[in-house]
Amino acid sequence: MEEKNGKYNKKEDLSEENLEYLSKNDVVGKDELRSINKKQENLLIKEKMENEANSKINEEIDNKEGLKKEFKEELKLKENNSNDEIGNKEDSKKEFKEELKLKEKNSNDEIGNKENSTKEFKEELKLKVNNSKDEIGNKENSTKEFKEELRLKVENKIIDNKSPEKSINNSSETKQISIEKSNQINKDGLDLKPKVKPKKEIPIEKKPFNEFINEHLIPEIINEFKSRDKVINEIYIKKTNRPISEDICWVIYCEVRETCNFWLSFEKDDITSLKSFSLCKNYEKPSIIESFLIDEKKITLKLIISRILQRLNGQKLIGAN
Last residue of a domain, one of 157, 191, 225: 191
- Per-residue pLDDT tens, the chain, 321 aa: give them: 445 445 445 555 656 666 666 666 655 566 777 777 788 788 888 888 888 888 888 888 888 888 888 888 888 888 888 788 877 778 778 888 888 888 888 777 777 767 766 777 777 777 776 766 667 666 666 667 777 777 777 666 655 554 444 444 555 555 565 556 555 655 555 454 556 677 778 888 899 999 999 999 999 999 999 999 999 999 999 999 999 989 999 999 999 998 899 999 999 999 999 999 999 998 899 989 999 998 888 899 999 999 999 999 988 888 654
**Does residue 306 sit in the same domain as residue 209?**
yes
> Are residues 171 and 238 located together in one domain of the fold?
no
Instruction: Count how many Cα atoms sit within 13 Å of the Cα of residue 120 in the half-sphere of its side chain.
Output: 6
Together in a domain, 271 and 248: yes
pTM (two decimals): 0.40
211 shares a domain with 182 = no
DSSP H stretches of helix in the chain: 2-12, 16-24, 30-160, 164-191, 209-212, 218-227, 301-314
Examine the domain organization and report whether 234 and 263 are in the same domain: yes
Q: In this structure, is residue 74 part of a structural domain?
A: no
pLDDT of 167: 45
Q: Which of 191, 218, 238 is the last residue of a domain?
A: 191
Torsional sign, CA 132, 134, 136, 139: negative
Closest to 286 measured CA to CA, from 264, 262, 310? 262
Distance CA 160, CA 163 (A): 9
245 and 289, same structural domain?
Answer: yes
What is the spatial distance between Cα 110 and Cα 103, in angstroms, rounded to a whole number?
A: 10
Burial class (CB in 10 A: 0-12, 13-18, 19+), 261: buried
Question: Which secondary-structure segment (H or E) carries 196?
Answer: none
Q: How high is the pLDDT of residue 141?
A: 65
Residues 310 and 213 in one domain: yes
CA 30 to chain centre: 100
Does residue 64 fall inside a structural domain?
no
pLDDT number for residue 222: 94
Do 99 and 291 touch, CB atoms closer than 8 A? Answer: yes
What's the number of domains the chain is made of?
Answer: 2
pLDDT at 100: 83
Residue 210 shares a structural domain with residue 150? no
Question: How many CB atoms sit inside 10 A of residue 205's CB?
Answer: 17
Beta bridge partners of 50: none
pLDDT at residue 20, rounded to an integer: 66
Judgement on whether residues 135 and 218 belong to the same structural domain of the protein: no
14 domain-assigned: no
Has residue 234 been placed in a domain? Answer: yes
Look at residue 164 in the predicted model and tell me its pLDDT: 45
Q: Which amino acid is at 37?
A: N
Exposure string of 289-312, with b = 16+ CB inside 10 Å and e = fewer, is beebbeeeeeeebeebbebbbebb
C-beta separation of 252 from 235 below 8 A: yes
Residue 146 phi, psi (nearest 5)? -65, -40
Sheet (strand 248-256) strand order = 232-241, 248-256, 260-266, 275-280, 290-291
* 180 and 254 part of one domain: no
In a domain? residue 221? yes
Q: Are residues 222 and 294 in the same domain?
A: yes
**Quick check: is 35 in a domain?**
no
What pLDDT shows up at residue 176?
Answer: 61
Domain end position, chosen among 126, 160, 191: 191
Tell me the DSSP string of 219-280: HHHHHHHHHTT--EEEEEEEEEEPTTT--EEEEEEEEETTTEEEEEEESSSSTTS-EEEEEE
Q: Is residue 10 assigned to a domain?
A: no
Residue 72 within a domain = no
Shared-domain flag, residues 301 and 218:
yes
What is the phi/psi pair of residue 245, to 5°?
A: -75, -25
Range of the domain at 178: 115-191
